[in-house]
Every structure is written in C-alpha cells, then in structure tokens.
Structure 1
C-alpha cells in the first residue's frame, strides 16, 4: 500500500508507470511528472478505467474514499464512469438554474392571476433587493444564512415589513423550484424566526432627514407612474398638507398664482376637524405657496386644467385620485414602511423646528403649527390664527422649498409619461399641454 511519504518521493521516469495501492486503485505517473489517481474495473464484460483526480489535489485518503464509492455503485449495477458524467452534467445544469432565472419563471407563471400593479411590485422588489445578492447563485445551493444576509440589508433601512414580505416571496419561488425539481428544500422556511419583529403600530412612518427626503423624491421622479401622480407627490412634499386635502384640491382654490403672494385656500369644509370647524365662517386654511410649489401647479395645469379637480382619478375626471396612489408610488420606489404621504407633515415639522432652533427663532414653533393647520383647543384663537403671521409663514414655506428641491427635476420635466414596453426599457411620450391626459397609465 502507498503512503504520503512514498507519494511525495515519487519521481517521473522516461515512460509512464503505475504505483498500486491495492483494490484496483493506483497512481499513474506521467513522464512530465503528473500524478493521477485511477481505478480499473470491469463493467458489462468490458475493461474500463475511472479517473479520480490528480495528486496532491486529491489526497491518498480521498482517493480511497472515491474508490470505495465507485465499488458501491458497481455493486448496484451502476457504471461509476457514467455516474460521474451524469453528476457533472447535473452540476452544470444546477449552475444554470440561478435564483433569478427560477424567480422570473415563478413570476411569469403567477402574474396572470395577480393585479398588474401587484405583479409589477413583486418583480421590482426582487430586482431591487434580491437579485443583486442572490440572483446569480444556483437556487439549490443558497443557504439560510445567505438569505438572512439579504433580508438583513433590507431591515437595515428600517423596512421591517418589506423584509418579511420579500421572505414570503422568496419562499414562493422555492415552492415553485421544488415542484419543478430544481431544488429539494426551502432554505427561507426558518429564516422568518431570525428577522426583526414588526414594530408596534403607532405614528405613521416618516423620513425626517432632508438628504434622505431628497433621495426619495429623486427616486419618485424616475418612477413610471403617470405624471399627475408624481407631481401630486411633489406638491404634498412642498406644502405638507394632509393627503385628503391634496386629493380633493380644486382649481378654484388657488389664488394669485401670477402675483407676489400666491395662496392655496383650502375650504374649512375640507379640513380636518369637527362639524363646528367645518361650518365656521372664515375657517379656511391658507397655504402660502413658494415659487417651487407654483411651478408644480403650473405643470399640473397643463394636464388637468380643464377639469374641476387638480388631481383627478385616472379614469374619472370628476373623482379624485385614489387614496392609495401616492402610497403605492412610495412603495414602488422602495420606501414601504419607511415613509407615507402623511409623513411629509412630520418631516416638515421636525426639520423646520430644528432649523428654527438653529437660527434662534423659537417663535417659529407656533407659526409652523399654523402652517400644519393643527386645530387648537381655543376656538376663538384658532379662528384668528388661521390667517395670522402670513408673511412669516410664506418665508418658512420658501425656506422649506429651498432645502427640499435641490437635485430634483423641474416640474415641467415630469410631464412626459414614462412607459415601459415589453423589453423593460423606459419610453417617454410627450403629454399634450392644456388637455387632461387621464387614460394612459393608472397611477
């Protein structure tokens, strides 16, 4: 029998020769110095040879294990050379069955039974959060720790619910893979227990960092939602009004858009509050408009200016846009669980109050509350204050807009409709100014 010492001492000769280890295993030494493990055997009346790998890459101990495995196959009537070729072929095929390939097959198989918006959201979530880390890996070789690593990256941006939802979608891909015979188990099955628990429901999620806010709005600018929806999100970010107040906005509510003091007068009847507030004379909420807000309104006017509503439904001119349209838009660009349309109010309050502190303007706290239309306990005081401090409110609105819009597209640049054709490339079609374009894309 051979030993490691003997193997290391072997030198090549003029002709190839064999060193037997017994039980059909031997080392084949070439004149060039190559050392190859081989095993001779008989199968179906024929003399055959099985290559077991080169020494020292395959050690003496490993060569003996491979020989014994081959003998077990022979005992079962299986040719070990054929079994080896089939295994190599299976490994190559497995490497072709990447997670992305199977995930796209799963998506294609299931999307006909899903709403178009949901199908697009599922694929977008994989392209954004899963394919970069798992897409190129063979689906059968992915381990639970690798999946957990991918989901931890999603959790790191405080998207806890998104991480859990994507884990469920990964599990769906594995159920499909198992049924197709390209995976044997679901490594994501036990990962949920290691994910962070869902936070308790409380305040609506909001990003309160200006750099992150601008990054989010820049992502919205690049989304394929209809222009009206993207412009609506820009205006709610600039004005910090409530989503319901934005959705119900009518062209008749905007005053002096070409003047020095443009105003959005939201009728008391549309404001949050009790019945007494809604019926109060002069209880309208006055929103001073920064030049950046006026630019958004002028851009929207080219699309819906002939309709009564500023932001109508994609299907009905006289109905406001869906209450979920803005939320879905934020979800699509990757901010599900991190920011909601109502969150711009918290962002405005937090950032502007910090700004007031830094600039020694403690009195601005009360002005900021007025700008958010917070209902005071004193009705008389509330009725007076709704029109008070307008000059300072306008200054703060302009300061907020000045901080918010750097790096964003001009509102007019959002008018082209971004459409995706079947090859996945974006294509822009110019909207016709002056006419509502309401049947192109659902926002």
Structure 2
C-alpha cells in the first residue's frame, strides 16, 4: 500500500533498519536511531542502483514522490539520476574552487614572499573590504570589468586615488595568474586605470643645490645631540639607503673587513638582498660609533631603550633643528640627492639604480644580481664620499 503522512508519523524505529515502500521503487528507511530517509531503488543499464532523496520530515511525502517521478523521466531519457547528481555537485565544487576569492588567495599565498609584511597586510585588508564582499563568490571567468572598476571607484570616492589604482593593478596580477592556471581566458582589468583620475605623484624633498648641501653636511657634523643620532645623520648621505633600512641597521649585517653592509632580503622593500660598499669615510664613522653601541644589536638604538632603534621622526626633527624645512629636505631626500648628482657626474645609470636597490621586474634575475656591478659601485661610492667632503669643505 502507498504510504500516508499519518502512517509515516506513526512509524517507530526497530532494532534494525526497516524499509516501508510507497511504490515505483520509492521507500522510506527508518533507522534504529529514529532517522527516516527517503530512497529510490531503480535499474539503469541492467544494474540495480539507489539514490537518496533526503530526510523526512524535511522532505515530505509529496516532494519525495515528485523527485521519484523526475528520476523516472531521466531514466527514460537514458540519464542516470545518480550520475547526474554527482555531475551537478562536481560543477558546484569546481565553481567554488575557481571563485575570484579562492584564486586571489591562492595567488596571494604564492606571492606574499615578495611583499613587505606591512604592504602584504594592506593588500589583504583592501581585498577583504572592497572586492570579496561584492564579487568574491563569482567564478573568476565570470567577473566583469565593471565589477573591478566599481570596487576601485568606491576606494576613489574616499580620496585614496593611488590605492584605487593599486587595487586594479593587483587584480591584473590575479587575472594573469588565473590565465596561467587555466581558470579564465582574459584579464578584465586591462585599461581600467584610464577610468580613474591620475595620481598626483609627490616627490620627496631633496637638496640638489651644492652650496646648500655643503651647509647641511657641516650642520650635521656640528650637531650636538644624541651621539648615535649624529652618526646616523652623517651616514645618511654616504649610504643613501631607505630611511627604514638606515634606522634598523644592525651590527651583525656589517662586514668591516670586506667593507660591506649586507642587508637581508627581509629588510628590503623589493625583498631582495642588497650590498652597500663602505667608503673610508663610512668606516671611520663606524669606528667612532662602535665603542658606544657595538655590543648591542642596533647601530642606532633609541635613547630610551637598546631594544629598539631610533625613530625616523627623531632624525627629521634633528634636520629641522638645523634650519632645513620639510620643503627642502627629508630623510628620503638623501636618496634623491645622490641619484641626481651621481647622474649629473656621469656615472653609469645601471650602477646608480643597483646601488639605490630599485626594483628588478624579473624576480628570478633579481635574486642573483644583488652583487651586480659591485666593483664599479665600490669605486662610485668612494668617489661619492670624496665628493661630499669637497662640498663640505667648499664654504664659498
């Protein structure tokens, strides 16, 4: 006899699973624990098979019968209901695996080693807030240019135009990764930069007037503040590394015999090792500093604790106290000063760029060329130190 809702509700579990048939292969299986499962027994291509329709009462008698009839129609068309269900499930799984968010996080995990930790954190936060809520669940092959542009415009409306451009740039890297891994065919971020306002590039103030540079160098030499601070300021124009690299310089990184400062990749903006040749003038300053801080970790420890280095802000305050305004000079300005004058002096641009540790687009090549042009750079760095001495001495 066909089942009824009243009869089903009255069914009690037995010691073993019990089947109650409704007809057409549909039956309700009552487990010893009380669970009631709808199942369909059918034959396909000569083989007996079974498929589950869900649990009663979530799936009621009427819906179970509808599913039975749909399965019978598929069988009549030569389609195995069980195989079709597996194919549908696989398609959903594939779509999830190829979603924009999954592909982006996969790309990120592979490329985070090339990013500074602070920058990597910003990128993650940017995507978590601006991209994933809107299109993260979409298969990456179905993401439209407008999806990315709308997210970038939301960032632009906050005034962060440079960040909006960066979002599009990183999306482009994700799409190119998806193309390489067979998830999509197109980089839909191409050309989107043109739809945003241009970024107004702010150049760090840097002295390039030779007379004014000489005045700054003499002012640093007579600075009467914290001695490690004075040494840091004296080394800044000689080494012209990034302010954070100078600030966090450690004695363990210096090979005074080889006359080299060897910065590990973890400290560099481009995540590549870097060598700074040390001039005679630099070695002389380090010899003066070593009795003060040589037994600690940092060359320039904070005045309050040796566990932390001095702050970049305190170096800026010292420069301001010498009479040099923010429109004239910044700590980053020592790099601009060196770049401008070394180019004017006719040095090979490749030597200068390598000494500035500017980014190499080819990360594989960059991993091996940290010592590129090193003999030439040694001569350039010594000549640069001699040139700074001449500027300092030329009081006229």
Structure 1 length normalisation: TM-score? 0.42
User: Whose relative contact order is higher, 1 or 2, with alpha carbons under 8 Å and at least 6 apart?
Assistant: 1
Structure 2 length normalisation: TM-score? 0.47
